[in-house]
Every structure is written in structure tokens, then in C-alpha cells.
């Protein structure tokens, strides 16, 4: 009995930590971190799957090394120096480690918890300022204003002028500025779209806070495919998924956003809640564990539907490179659905890029642009010359990969190919 209990600890401890979070009976962070970190047996099997370790071959840049740093920090054996924080900040949250760890170490919970812990060690004013800055960035009014300015910046010729003048480099934002793809006009969405035939049900589409600015074509294609397959589509009132707050150590702010999104999930006339961006989907699934509705990736949902009601796909004679985001592969584990869907399209030649993080990692591509670009390079090296486009299911990855190709190769969401093929 005791042996059985010990052998099941790998499942029991994360379950306990998660349940204590959900029930509000939170363990102190130090105990949460120690409990989860003690699951690591320091075997090193995760090292080949860690992009930052592969780049640096520095143990402090590996999952095992970071777990040891976490243990040192919370047990007051290691000072919280800027160098230690940097090693933790470099973590991409890609979960390449969690996927291959034989001890089932819950690395995502650990890295989020240590970031929350380090936030509590900062001056409250600094932590408040950081959280406030992220909240400002996701505020819809501020966002709309900011993107209107960015469109003006691109269309007026200011972008060319500033790039040419060298000012951007002088003030140290040239690499961040180069990430900006050519912006399209902001999408105006109706709250509801009706199915083209008899309705099979209503689905809610989660587009997050950035979808309207960066994923206009993917959202339009999603509505087109879903209504064509017989679903009414609603775009409910929603706020940011909270991933930026969560992965920056601001758990409470992420929780507040989750509670707001929970309100539309209470609406039981939905068959499912679907998301286009896998990063938002991963955050929604983890923060809304008590959701009464299934929260699933758009491509997985469509794949299940066409298994029940087959449809005819028209040929698309193109060669594409397929990138599977870490959030889809390692967190949601629904990457296979994208491959399965795209292989149904006749004529489409697919080169699937090897499992490799693109380096975008939420805000890392902005705050650690050089490291993000180095992580991205092996992925770009795999892209064949003959391709006409790249496919990826996450906004951050799309932007970062597109910038890596100097925005010369279209990087699109897989749903856009499905929509084109069903036309
Ligand atoms: S594979 Fe798992 S147990 Fe082994 S060192 Fe990495 S995190 Fe620790
Ligand atoms: S989440 Fe990714 S970058 Fe971070 S330690 Fe794990 S494998 Fe390395």
C-alpha cells in the first residue's frame, strides 16, 4: 500500500498543488516549489529537449539547472542575483522538458511559481508597475489606439524614414521594430454568424486580445469553415487569456482575467469553445479547468466534425513548411490534428519542421530579442527554398518566424488553407 502510494506521488503532488490552487487553499509558494522540484531526480534526460541548453551548454540554462536554482532560491541558499533571475527569465516555457521527463516533473507550474515568488521579493512598487504595464498593453482601448498609431506609422512612410535614419538602432528598439508585420485594417466582427445549412449547434470563438490586430485572415477563415460545416459561430465578450500575466509571475491578475472569461463559458448553449491561437488555448485550458464546456483547438474540432460528416477538399498545389508551436505540441498535445487536417488537402506538399521552439515565447521576443533570434535560427535553417508559405497556429510564433524571413514569405494559420480548399 505504502509502495503504491509512493509510486503514485508523481501524479498526486501536481494534482494536490493544482487542486489547492483551484480551491483557493493555496500552499505557500515555497512549499509548492519544494514539493514539485523534489520530483526532479536530476537525470538530465530533458537536456536534449531544452533549446536554451542546446544553445549555451550551460547547466544553469537547462531545466535541471533551473530547478536546482529554484530550490536554492526558496530555501535561502542562493541570493536572488540578477544573473540567477536572468537564467530563469531565459526559460521559454516551451515545455520541451516536461514532455520528455520520465519523472513527470510539472515544469510549467514550477516556472510560473518561481516567477511569482521572485515577484514577491521585488519592491511592491516595481512589481505593481510591471503588472500595470502588462495590463495597459492588453487594455482594448489602449490597444486600439496603439495599433491605429502603428498603422499610421507604416502607411504614412514614417517607418521607412525612421528605419533609414538609424534612430531606431540608436535608441535600441530596431530588432523589436523589425518584428512588426505589415498590419491590416482592424477587423470588425459581428457577435454571431449563422451556419450556411441546418445548424448542428453553436460554438464560441475565442480570439484573444491580439487576434483582431494580427489574425484577421485566420478569424475570417475560421468563421467561413465552421459555418460551412453547419455551426453557428458566436464571438462572445472576452478579455485577454492572461498568458502574459501568468508567465510573468502575476498569477492573481491572470486569475482575474480567467474569471471574466469564465462568464461567457457559463453560457451552456455552446457546443464547444474554440481558439485560433494555441498560446491562448493553452492558457485558457489551464486557467479554466472548471469550465463546464470543452475548450479545444479549432483544427481538432474540425477534424472530429469531418470524421462524422466527410467533406470534399479541393486541391491546392503548394509546398508549405509546417511549424507546430510548443503550446500546441507540448502543452495542448493537439499538433497531430493540424497535420491530419492538412494532409487531407490534395496537392498540398508539406515539409513538417522538426520539433523546435521558434524562440518567440510570449514577450521574450521583445525583451530578449537576441536570444530569441538565436533560438529561431535552427528552425529557419530547415525551411526549404521551394516553399510558397509557412503555416503556424500561434500568433507569437507567426510574427517571430515571419520577421526571421524578413516578412518575405507568408506565414499563415492552417485554417486559412482549409478554408481555401473548401471554397
Ligand atoms: S528529465 Fe525530469 S527528472 Fe530528469 S533532470 Fe530533467 S526535469 Fe529532472
Ligand atoms: S521550458 Fe523549454 S526553455 Fe524552459 S527549461 Fe524547459 S525545455 Fe528549457
Residue 226: its pLDDT value, please?
A: 98
Task: Please identify, by atom number, the ligand 2 atom nearest to the C-alpha of residue 95.
Answer: 1
pLDDT exceeds cutoff 80 at 61: yes
Q: How many A from CA of 237 to the centre of ligand 1?
A: 41
Banded model confidence at residue 10, pLDDT cuts 50, 70, 90: low
pLDDT exceeds cutoff 90 at 269: no
Ligand nearest, relative to CA of residue 60:
2
Mean pLDDT within 133-156: 88
- Phi first, then psi: give them for residue 340, nearest 5 degrees: -60, -40
pLDDT exceeds cutoff 50 at 23: no
Mean pLDDT within 266-275: 86
Residues in the chain: 423
Tell whether ligand 1 has an atom less than 6 A from the beta carbon of residue 41: yes
Q: How many A from CA of 279 to the centre of ligand 1?
A: 24
Tell whether ligand 1 has an atom less than 6 A from the beta carbon of residue 338: no
Tell whether ligand 1 has an atom less than 6 A from the beta carbon of residue 322: no
pLDDT exceeds cutoff 50 at 167: yes
Q: How many A from CA of 259 to the centre of ligand 2?
A: 28
Mean pLDDT within 143-166: 93
pLDDT exceeds cutoff 80 at 304: yes
Tell whether ligand 1 has an atom less than 6 A from the beta carbon of residue 45: yes
pTM of the model: 0.90
Each residue's pLDDT tens digit, 85-120: 999 999 999 999 999 999 999 999 999 999 999 988
Task: Please identify, by atom number, the ligand 2 atom nearest to the C-alpha of residue 357.
Answer: 2
Q: Note whether 108 and 95 are within 8 A (CB).
A: yes
Average of per-residue pLDDT values in the chain = 90
pLDDT exceeds cutoff 90 at 230: yes
Burial call 131-145: b when 16+ CB within 10 Å, e when fewer: beebbeebeeeebee
Name, of 135-139, 178-182, 251-255, 266-270, the range with top average pLDDT: 178-182
Residue nearest to atom 6 of ligand 1 (CA): 46
Tell whether ligand 1 has an atom less than 6 A from the beta carbon of residue 40: yes
What the chain holds in terms of domains, given with CATH numbers, is 2-121 (1.10.1060.10), 134-177 (no CATH), 192-307 (3.40.50.1860), 310-422 (3.40.50)
Q: How many A from CA of 93 to the centre of ligand 2?
A: 5
Banded model confidence at residue 208, pLDDT cuts 50, 70, 90: confident
pLDDT exceeds cutoff 80 at 181: yes
Each residue's pLDDT tens digit, 308-336: 988 999 999 999 999 999 999 999 999 99
Tell whether ligand 1 has an atom less than 6 A from the beta carbon of residue 139: no
59, 86, 92, best to mutate for ligand 2 pocket (most atoms within 8 Å of CB): 92
Which DSSP string corresponds to 200-255? -EEEEEE-TTTHHHH-HHHHHHHHHHHHHTTEEEE-------SHHHHTTT-HHHHH
Q: How many A from CA of 125 to the centre of ligand 1?
A: 36
Q: How many A from CA of 108 to the centre of ligand 2?
A: 9
Tell whether ligand 1 has an atom less than 6 A from the beta carbon of residue 10: no
Of residues 153, 392, 155, 114, the one with CA closest to residue 276: 392
Ligand 2 pocket residues where CB is under 6 Å = 49-52, 63, 66, 91-97, 107
Residue 291: its pLDDT value, please?
A: 79
Q: How many A from CA of 47 to the centre of ligand 2?
A: 9
Grid coordinates standing for 79? 541570493
Of residues 128, 185, 130, 129, the one with CA closest to residue 154: 185
Residue 24: its pLDDT value, please?
A: 43
Residue nearest to atom 2 of ligand 1 (CA): 101
Percent of the chain's residues with pLDDT above 90: 74
Which DSSP string corresponds to 127-164? HHHHHHHHHHHH-HHHHHHHHHHHHHHHHTSHHHHHHH
Residue 13: its pLDDT value, please?
A: 52
Cα-trace Rg, the chain: 22
pLDDT exceeds cutoff 50 at 219: yes
Tell whether ligand 1 has an atom less than 6 A from the beta carbon of residue 105: yes
Residue nearest to atom 7 of ligand 2 (CA): 50
pLDDT exceeds cutoff 90 at 134: no
Task: Please identify, by atom number, the ligand 2 atom nearest to the C-alpha of residue 108.
Answer: 1
Each residue's pLDDT tens digit, 359-414: 999 889 999 999 999 999 999 999 999 999 999 999 999 999 999 999 999 999 99
pLDDT exceeds cutoff 60 at 25: no
Q: Note whether 391 and 349 are within 8 A (CB).
A: no
Q: How many A from CA of 400 to the centre of ligand 1?
A: 29
Burial class (CB in 10 A: 0-12, 13-18, 19+), 236: middle
Amino acid at each position: 500500500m505504502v509502495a503504491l502510494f509512493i509510486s503514485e506521488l508523481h501524479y498526486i503532488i501536481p494534482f494536490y498543488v493544482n487542486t489547492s490552487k483551484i480551491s483557493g487553499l493555496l500552499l505557500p509558494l515555497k512549499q509548492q516549489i519544494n514539493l514539485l522540484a523534489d520530483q526532479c531526480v536530476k537525470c538530465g534526460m530533458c537536456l536534449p529537449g531544452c533549446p536554451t541548453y542546446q544553445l549555451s551548454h550551460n547547466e544553469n540554462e537547462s531545466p535541471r539547472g533551473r530547478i536546482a536554482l529554484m530550490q536554492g532560491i526558496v530555501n535561502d541558499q542562493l541570493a536572488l542575483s540578477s544573473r540567477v533571475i536572468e537564467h530563469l527569465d531565459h526559460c521559454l516555457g516551451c515545455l520541451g522538458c516536461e514532455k520528455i521527463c520520465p519523472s513527470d516533473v510539472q515544469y510549467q507550474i514550477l516556472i510560473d511559481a518561481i516567477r511569482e515568488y521572485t515577484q514577491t521579493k521585488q519592491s511592491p512598487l516595481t512589481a505593481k508597475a510591471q503588472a500595470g504595464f502588462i495590463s495597459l498593453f492588453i487594455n482594448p482601448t489602449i490597444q486600439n489606439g496603439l495599433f491605429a498609431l502603428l498603422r499610421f506609422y507604416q502607411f504614412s512612410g514614417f517607418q521607412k524614414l525612421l528605419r533609414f535614419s538609424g534612430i531606431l538602432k540608436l535608441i535600441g528598439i530596431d530588432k523589436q521594430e523589425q518584428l512588426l508585420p505589415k498590419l491590416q485594417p482592424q477587423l470588425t466582427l459581428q457577435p454571431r454568424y449563422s451556419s450556411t445549412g441546418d445548424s448542428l449547434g453553436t460554438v464560441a470563438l475565442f480570439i484573444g486580445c491580439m487576434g483582431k490586430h494580427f489574425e484577421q485572415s485566420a478569424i475570417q477563415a475560421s468563421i467561413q469553415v465552421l459555418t460551412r460545416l453547419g455551426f453557428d459561430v458566436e464571438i462572445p465578450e472576452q478579455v485577454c487569456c492572461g498568458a502574459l500575466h501568468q508567465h510573468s509571475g502575476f498569477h492573481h491578475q491572470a486569475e482575474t482575467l480567467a474569471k471574466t472569461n469564465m462568464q461567457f463559458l457559463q453560457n451552456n448553449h455552446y457546443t464547444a469553445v474554440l481558439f485560433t491561437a494555441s498560446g491562448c488555448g493553452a492558457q485558457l485550458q489551464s486557467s479554466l479547468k472548471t469550465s463546464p464546456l470543452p475548450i479545444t483547438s479549432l483544427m481538432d474540432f474540425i477534424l472530429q466534425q469531418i470524421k462524422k460528416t466527410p467533406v470534399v477538399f479541393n486541391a491546392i498545389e503548394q509546398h508549405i513548411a509546417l511549424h507546430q508551436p510548443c503550446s500546441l505540441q507540448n502543452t495542448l498535445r493537439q499538433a497531430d490534428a493540424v497535420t491530419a487536417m492538412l494532409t487531407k488537402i490534395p496537392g498540398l506538399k508539406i515539409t513538417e519542421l522538426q520539433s523546435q521552439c521558434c524562440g518567440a515565447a510570449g514577450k521574450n521576443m521583445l525583451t530578449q530579442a537576441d536570444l530569441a533570434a538565436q533560438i529561431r535560427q535552427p528552425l529557419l535553417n530547415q525551411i526549404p527554398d521551394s516553399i510558397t508559405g509557412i503555416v503556424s497556429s500561434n500568433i507569437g510564433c507567426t510574427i517571430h518566424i515571419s520577421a526571421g524571413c524578413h516578412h518575405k514569405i507568408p506565414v499563415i494559420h492552417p485554417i486559412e488553407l482549409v478554408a481555401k480548399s473548401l471554397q
